[in-house]
Chain A
Amino acid sequence: DQQVKQNSPSLSVQEGRISILNCDYTNSMFDYFLWYKKYPAEGPTFLISISSIKDKNEDGRFTVFLNKSAKHLSLHIVPSQPGDSAVYFCAASERSHGSSNTGKLIFGQGTTLQVKP
């Protein structure tokens, strides 16, 4: 039972264009969502997050959109740069649910983004 899914294992885009990475979830109790970026042989690096009370959060070239009714979030990178080439993980947690809040993150399988010069 995979609660967080990234259905595209890989994505290739041209430098300067938009990259859109998608993530779907099934657990309606999730209320906090994060994107992490991972380079080979390194740990995941936090990129951007969004709370379920918002539908958009922006940080520089990175924007995360949340569609709660569709249980879908996406990460937009504009413009894409070759240094953005990495594996991107989305993750979700039940942040606000009292004693059941373990802080546990549920991760998707990851999407490998390649940005071509």
Chain B
Amino acid sequence: NAGVTQTPKFQVLKTGQSMTLQCAQDMNHNSMYWYRQDPGMGLRLIYYSASEGTTDKGEVPNGYNVSRLNKREFSLRLESAAPSQTSVYFCASSMDRGDTQYFGPGTRLTVL
């Protein structure tokens, strides 16, 4: 069991470029989440998917879009990257909403 995997591990973008962060889980979990971590601020929820076929906004959704491709995969897209989106991005999954969440290793993104 790999758990939750994320690609890429590191990425540098220029302002205005787009990219997609990939996340996959092999635990047969129904719910998946995207968080960002900034220094001194803990983790903040960007978007979540309570079950396959549904997505909802979290605390800080502006500038992002998500796709729940299937039960295993949940991607996060930055359409036009901004320096304020420089952060570490974590994907997480849980059996159902409200259950304990398990996190991937993170993607460190720098926007110049």
Where the two chains meet, the residues of A that have a C-beta atom closer than 8 Å to any C-beta of B are: 4, 9, 32, 34, 36, 41-46, 49, 89, 91, 93, 95-96, 101-105, 107-110
Contact = CB atoms under 8 A, between A and B. Distances in A.
**7 shortest interchain CB distances as A-B pairs:** A103-B97, A107-B42, A43-B103, A95-B98, A107-B43, A103-B98, A44-B103
Contacts of A101: 97-98
A43 B106 contact: yes
B49 to A, nearest CB: 10
A108 B44 CA distance: 10
B42 A108 contact: yes
Contacts of A95: 98
Interface of B: 4, 31, 33, 40-45, 48, 50, 56, 58-59, 90, 92, 94, 96-106
A103 B48 contact: yes
